[in-house]
Structure 1
């Protein structure tokens, strides 16, 4: 299961040049009531024993009695590749730059374990015009909420996660997503990387929704990834479309374009309403959370089983 797409050396070098000097300045935060050095490091996803002394050095002169933070004062956060701010990145497709997905002072992420260390996931939860591959902004709020729910879960288990945004009025094209994904794939090519493409259709997630899971038929990694997610949906009593054929899947030009152009192994999840005549109902927070949890569990199973197979 160690198959990787062959990467020309000059492309790997380009990726190193492109991202190798992008170390950003220290992130900062304004101390609020209840903030302490330990709680701040936990909130940022940083090991307390490793970064406590560095926090003290960075903020020398601004800490009261050796350990207390002054409310309303600005403090620096130690730079770490493994912090939540650096592990969860939002790629701006207008300029191909990225920023933290979450402001950790507003979004609580609790580090649960390191099961997904050395993994990278790209979550593509957008809609496209099949004729010109132009992004369609329908259900953008619902898509964003689902993507961030999944990102929180993955970060909690140690994964690196990339989401996408576009700050221009006009939609970007699918090729812009492919460029962003492939550039970062080259940077992290020593890690286990997967692209998950999710289409929630009209934005509705309910008990009557039917789930289809598909993959590139030529990719063993994609098949393993899709099978792990399918089994998890089954175990959680979701309704699955067992009749989708390869011809039907390949009739979607967006799917074919991604299969032919992205570097990481990928799987597709499509959500459909059973009764298309019924007006769509926006997915509730509970349904989004359940859906995100199922996918995260499938991702964990996929990686853990491959990791065990590689150790044999």
Structure 2
């Protein structure tokens, strides 16, 4: 065999073997008892808020109800550059106000661990959203005892609202979080500690009187609405209900009877929930509805088209599973955001 031919064969052999050297192995882990998506990702040293969606996409056929892990099953872990976690932590520590770092926005309102929000798309570019969580400040809403500890409505509505805000921001929306807590951020515990230090945007003390408290929120939203005149604007209120302990309720959506855009927003989110339940819980009837509730103060007096969302009954044991599990709270925020995206697509 000539030297030239030997060289060619050797070179071709190198080409044949090169791809196998460059292949990246897929990392998987086995879910242990008590693991949720958040805790599993955190064990891998990853930011669970940032990588939650990617994890679900990779493992959607191996999840119960699109959000729960099966103990003992193997799950694919999203591939993350080695320095990503360090970068996220650095950005979170240095952030004192919203600022852009490449395709990452950072805001301390989400807490030290989750300050960074990756911009995934510009699907909501130009849209403005006002997010109000129920109660807050001197009024925690209804309280209930859970495993010997006290839980309150406002803490869970606020946590879901923060998660929703991150989802909307990740698609390019300008988002105002109207009720704000300077030190809570997104929390992954089941029992969220009660405090009374929430303020109204940008930093107003929340009145104890219910009517004054609601009027304050209306005035803030309406002022911002006029400042953003001409833009696509929507208001979303999240509220945890309090009913008799025996009453299990699904997620409900309300709108103003005379608001065509508000009705479409509520209907779009409701339609998304229906689709999710059919997909992930086909044997369970979803009984949540959307309807006009024009008598509610916030529904009646705010200017933007709006959807008022009742998340569940804090006193009911079944609803507590939906509200207290951080993975469930993330799923609720994700589903609401998908309904918001559907509404925006239909409205443009």
Q: Secondary structure at the match of 2:324?
A: coil
Look up the match of 1:149. 163
For residues 51-130 of structure 1, the aligned pairs below 5 Å read 84=105, 101-102=109-110, 107-127=115-135
User: Distance in 2 between the 1:102 and 1:245 partners?
Assistant: 31
User: Distance in 1 between the 2:133 and 2:227 partners?
Assistant: 22
How far the C-alpha of 1:211 sits from its partner, in A, is: 1.6
Correspondent of 1:284 among 309, 321, 325: 325
For residues 1-312 of structure 1, the aligned pairs below 5 Å read 44-46=99-101, 84=105, 101-102=109-110, 107-127=115-135, 135-137=139-141, 138-163=152-177, 164-165=179-180, 166-167=198-199, 168=205, 171=208, 173-202=213-242, 209-237=249-277, 240-241=286-287, 246=292, 249-250=293-294, 253=295, 255=296, 257-273=297-313, 276=316, 280=320, 282-307=323-348
Q: Identify unmatched segments of 5+ residues in structure 1.
A: 1-31, 49-82, 89-99, 129-133, 308-312
How far the C-alpha of 1:202 sits from its partner, in A, is: 4.7
Look up the match of 1:96. none
Q: For residues 108 and 278 of structure 1, do their structure 2 counterparts lie closer, same or farther at Cα, with a shift above 3 Å needed?
A: closer
Q: Secondary structure at the match of 1:234?
A: helix
User: Distance in 1 between the 2:289 and 2:86 partners?
Assistant: 56
Structure 1, residues 135-167: CA drift from partner, whole Å, max 9, x if none?
544423222211111111111000111111334
Segment of structure 1 superposing worse, 274-283 or 146-155: 274-283
Q: For residues 106 and 235 of structure 1, do their structure 2 counterparts lie closer, same or farther at Cα, with a shift above 3 Å needed?
A: closer
Q: Secondary structure at the match of 1:210?
A: coil
How far the C-alpha of 1:273 sits from its partner, in A, is: 4.3
Q: Secondary structure at the match of 2:215?
A: helix
How far the C-alpha of 1:259 sits from its partner, in A, is: 3.0
Q: TM-score under structure 1 normalisation?
A: 0.57
CA contact (8 A) 2:314 2:320 kept: no
Larger radius of gyration: 2
How far the C-alpha of 1:108 sits from its partner, in A, is: 2.6
Q: Report how many aligned residue pairs link the two structures.
A: 213
Look up the match of 2:146. none
Q: For residues 219 and 280 of structure 1, do their structure 2 counterparts lie closer, same or farther at Cα, with a shift above 3 Å needed?
A: same
